[in-house]
Structure formats: C-alpha cells, structure tokens
Amino acid sequence: MQHQIAQTTTLQGIANQFSRIPVLCLSGCSSAPLQGRSVLLGSLPVANVVLSVPGPPVAGLSYGELGLLVDQMGHVLQNCLSRSTHGHMSGSRGIEWDRVQVCSNVLRLLLLGQHQFAARLAAQPLSTEMHDALKAADRHLVAWDLCWQLYYSKLDLELHSRGDFWGDLSRNLWPQFLPVANDTVAEKRLCSMSSFLTAPAAQFCPLWAQMIAADVLGEFQKAETSSDVSSVGKRFRETFLELGGMVSGSEVFRRFLGRDPSSDSLLAVYGLQEEQRQHTKDQS
C-alpha cells in the first residue's frame, strides 16, 4: 500500500474539484484519491489528506479535530486498500453516492465507542465519566436532528423524482417528519442549500451512509473475543474497503452481513430504541 498524507496549517482545507468525496472546507479538512489501483497500468493506489492542525503551544488534537481526522482516514483506507483491477473502479471511484461516506462513518462510530480503536488513538485512555460525557454530547438533540435529516432527505428524493412545485412538496412532507408548526422562514432555506442542486439525493446519501455504518458497528459490538473482532474486521476489509466500484453497494452489504440494511442499528446508536418502541405501541 502506498499513500501520501499532506498536512497544512491553512485556515481552510483545499477542495479537490475532481474528487467524489465530500470536502470539509469549513473544518479545514479534506481528502482525495490521487491515483487508483490498476493492474493494466501497474499503478498502486495513492490518496492524500489535507487538514488544518493546531500549532504550538497547543498539544494534540481536540476530540472534534480527532473525529475529523478519523473521517478522512476512512476515505484514505477505502482508496488505498482497494483490490480493484481497474483504476476507474478503484477506491471511491465508480461507487454509489450513498456509499461514499460509509467507511468514514464506521471509523467515527468506533472512535465514539469504548473500543480498542479509540483507545489506540487517544494519548491516554478516557475515563468512563469522560466517555459518557462525550457520548451524551454527541447524542444531544439527536432525535430533533434526525427529524430534519429525514425531512430534507425525503424532500430531496421527491424533488428529483417528481415535477411538483417544491413549496407544495415541502408543505406536504413537513407534518410527516417535523413535530412543530410549519415554519415559512425555515422552509425557504431550501433556496440557499446548495446540496439540493449539486446532485440527486445529495441530502439522502449521508443519512443512508450513517445507517449502513451503524449496522457495521453492530457487528463489531457483537464480537466477544479478539479473534471475533479480527474476523469482523477482515470481512469489513474484504467488502467495504477492497471491492470499490466492482460490486454494487447492496451486494457489498450482503456479503458483509448476509442480509439487507436495517434502521434498527441506527436507532440503537442514537439511543432511540425505547422511543421507537413507545411510538409503535401508541400507533397500535
């Protein structure tokens, strides 16, 4: 495996317009595949990471900055561990949009959990109290945020599959996902959200990737011994990290878990299982 990691202290990350990977410009962090793996050309995969890190006298990275770095590590691993024989199908090239952020989300979830991966990244092991505080902060208002994500995702899909006026679609979907009165000001924010214009399902894809990552995390959490963890990690590498665009996303997931994705794992990660059970009970 060959890879290149570039570091810079600029205030803003450099966007690579040729990359399919979403660029985190505001956070000063981005990654891009520079070269795909190709048997015909004899080329090895190369990827880069551009990030803004604090200089002296600040020591180390904050938890948020470490999370951004881990996100990019997921993209780099996906590109550099690819076993594709064709460069245009290597790594993140040629894969569905809703699969681009899966690997980065998996690593971010492993960082948040009390897992060996998180322990090795930290300068010193986090106390149980600190871990619980970080987890609580990550879940703060998560149900509210999820309602908005679902609303925007469904609206995004409707806008690209129907010819109805966007305002009518928005007003019809609002009560289905949001537990508040229709806000005309918030509704008109759609006009300034470029993600609705960049590509079809650009709002839906990140949420789908989170759900897939949560399912993957659930498999790691079921592993009871180190050999079990290694077995799950090997399957993850041989599917999500190595296959690239050679196999469809649905088939990649089935090879890893032997079934189709489920939203239950995402609710478990967010700690919303009990709320879902209560809602189902109220509806019955």
Domains of the chain: 29-138 (3.40.390.10), 141-284 (1.10.1370.10)
pLDDT at position 119: 59
Does position 23 have pLDDT exceeding 50, yes or no? no
Query: Residues 276, 147: contact at Cβ < 8 Å?
Result: no
Query: Residues 13, 27: contact at Cβ < 8 Å?
Result: yes
The residue type found at 129 is E
Q: How much is the mean pLDDT over the chain?
A: 78
Mean pLDDT of 110-135: 71
Of residues 152, 142, 157, the one with CA closest to residue 214: 142
Does position 191 have pLDDT exceeding 60, yes or no? yes
Mean pLDDT of 234-248: 91
CB under 8 A, 24+ apart: contacts of 112-115: 112/138, 113/217, 113/221, 115/220
pLDDT at position 117: 61
